[in-house]
Structure 1
Amino acid sequence: MITLGTARASPGETDTGRLEVGETRDGSPVRLPVAVINGAEDGETLYMQAVSDGDELNGLGVVNRVVPRLDPSELSGSVLVVGVVNYFGFQVAEHRNPIDDRKMNRGYPGDEDGTTSERIAHATFQAAKRADIILDLHQGSTSRMINETRVRCGIRHRLHSDCLELAKAFGCGHVLDIKGPDGQLARAGPEHGIPTIDPELGGCVGWDEESIRYGVEGVFNVLRHYGYLDGDVDLERQTRARGFDQYGSPAGGLVRFERDLGERVSTGDLLFEVTDVFGELKGRVTADDDGVFWRTRRLPQVAAGEYVCSVGTNVDQY
């Protein structure tokens, strides 16, 4: 029998339930939706979670598609799922937890006596620590972004190559291989000896079916590659960026992009122009380095100095 919160599954069974992680302001319990898929055959454990940022829903779309398709009679090992991590942010469609104004994915491994975010991080990390690999499903908030997978442990970490292999198995096509901030699950997992990746499934308002499809395929790729399911996975070469240049606007106005997401750019290439309301040119911004056009703001209007776009740099194939 494998349990997660109130979900209980014997070998060959699937169950859903709730994981209690604290209380709301009126004293009602906070219970996160969870699932357990317990394979008919023995094997390792995969942990997967989504919506640690409350407005990032593509990962939830992946969970919504993957769990019904996982047949425990065909599974070796088990899959533990937390469908919505940032309970409070999800309810109001906000990125951060509005109760403590914390970004959930900066609080791992958590604190059972801390703020609401730290308590949720602690409870979900206790589940994640039971696993052999971890998938923390994200998206580029509401920005426009390519589908990519992030390896956040840092190139000198003892599990760096294991995390890279996991990212390659997931197979979004692009990998951002840069050490992440303290408190990310993709940092805390490797610190506890568990290969972990942070798939960033595009960026949108609501959810995007193409990015969800990438995520669903990625999860099943991982399940096959690591022997949870039968089947072979061709590990295709990924485009990896090990640097990230961000660009702000030189003036207030309206942005006009000159590059498409995923397009290769060279030093000096025009990235975007800024015009006034009547179309008069106010500024141009060019690439500082060779790279891949990675991410942009969604709305065209900008103030002087406001974020506009990012280019992945130090690019190679692995």
Structure 2
Amino acid sequence: MLTLGTASAAPGETATGRLEVGETRDGSPVRLPVAVINGVDDGKTLYIQAVSDGDELNGLGVVNRVVPRIDPTALSGAVLVVGIVNYYGFQTAEHRNPIDDTKTNRAYPGNATGTTSERIAHATFDAATRADLILDLHQGSTSRMIDEVRVRCGPRHRLHSDCLRLAKVFGCGYVLDQKGPDGQLARIAPNKGIPTVDPELGGCVGWDEESIRKGVEGVFNVLGYYGFLDREVSVAKQTRARGFEQYRSPSGGLVRFERELGERVEAGDVLFEVTGVFGDRHARVTADSDGIFWRSRRLPQAAAGEYVCSVGTNLVTY
């Protein structure tokens, strides 16, 4: 019998339940939705989680479609899933946990007696570190972004090549290989010897079916490549960015983008212009380096100094 929270599955079974991680302000328990898929044969364990940022729902869309499609009678090993990590942020459609104003994905490995986010991180980290591989499903919040996978352990980490391989197998086409901030699951879990990646499945308000489709395909790529399922996987070359340049608006106004997401840019190319209300140009911003137009804000209005877009740089194909 394999158990996560109240979900218990015998070999060849799938079970769903709840993982208790704390209490709300009225004393009601906080229980995260979890699933256990227990294969009929021995094998590795894959851990998947979604919605550690409360407004990033594409990962939930992936979980919603993947769990019913995995046949435990055809599975070797097991899959553990936490469908919604940031309980409070999800309930209020906010990126951060509104109770402690924290990004849950900055709270790992967590603290069993800490803040609400630290308690959630502690409980989910305990579940994640039972696995051999970890997928922490994200998206570019509500901004616009290409589908990519992030390797966050840093290039000098002993598991860096294993994390790069996992990112390549997931196969969004683009990989950001840059050491992440303290407290990210994809940075901390490799310290426990577990290859971990952070798929960033586009960026949208609500969820996007194309990004979800890529995420579902990515999960099944991992299941096939690492021997969970008898499934042939063709591992394609990926474009890997080792740098990430962010651009802010030099003046207030309305942004007009001159590049599309995923488009190659060269140093000196115009990325965007800023105009006034009546179309008079206030500023023109050009790329500092060659790269790929990676991410951009969704709304056209921007204050002076406000984030506008990002370019992935130092590109290699692997």
Q: TM-score, normalised by structure 2?
A: 1.00
Residue 105 (structure 2) aligns with: 105
Mapping for residues 1-318 of structure 1, pairs under 5 Å: 1-318=1-318
The amino acid that maps onto 2:207 is W
RMSD: 0.4
Q: CA–CA distance in 2 between the matches of 1:259 and 1:101?
A: 34
> How far does the alpha carbon of each residue in 1:38-73 deviate from its partner, in whole angstroms, 9 at most, with x for none?
001111100000000000000000000000001001
- 1:232 is displaced (CA, Å) by 1.7
Aligned equivalents of 2:44, 2:231: Cα separation in 1: 16
Amino acid at match of 2:310: S
Counterpart Cα distance in 1 of 2:109 and 2:220: 27
Shift of 1:289: 0.2
Q: Deviations over 1:198-228 (max 9, x none)?
A: 0000000000000000100000000000000
Instruction: Give a deviation string over 1:258-289, Cα, whole Å, max 9, x none.
Output: 00000000000010001111111111000000
User: What secondary structure is seen at the aligned counterpart in 2 of 1:288?
Assistant: coil
Q: Give the ranges of 4+ consecutive aligned residues of structure 1 lying more than 4 Å apart after TM superposition.
A: none
- What is the DSSP-based 3-state SS (H/G/I as helix, E as strand, rest coil) of the residue aligned with 1:217? helix
CA distance in structure 2 between the partners assigned to 1:305 and 1:88 by the alignment:
30
- Identity score, percent: 80
Q: CA deviation at 1:235?
A: 1.1
Instruction: Tell me by how many angstroms 1:250 deviates.
Output: 1.2
Kindly provide the amino acid, as one letter, of the partner of residue 303 in structure 1.
A
One-letter code aligned to 2:11: P
Deviations 1:3-38 (A, max 9, x none): 000000000000000000000000000000000000
| Structure 2 residue identity aligned to 1:17 | G
Q: How far apart are 1:197 and its partner, in Å?
A: 0.1
2: CA distance, partners of 1:184 / 1:214: 23
Report the AA paired with residue 110 of structure 1: G
CA deviation string 1:230-265 (max 9, x = no partner): 122111110000001000011111000000000000
One-letter amino acid of the counterpart of residue 272, structure 1? F
1-side partners of 2:154 and 2:237: how far apart?
Answer: 20
The alignment covers a number of residue pairs equal to 318
- Give me the whole-angstrom Cα distance separating, in 2, the residues matched to 1:100 and 1:274: 36
SS at match of 2:313: strand
Q: What is the CA–CA distance in structure 2 between the aligned matches of 1:269 and 1:187, rounded to whole Å?
A: 33
Deviation at 1:184, TM superposition (A): 0.2
Q: Which amino acid is the alignment partner of residue 40 of structure 1?
A: V
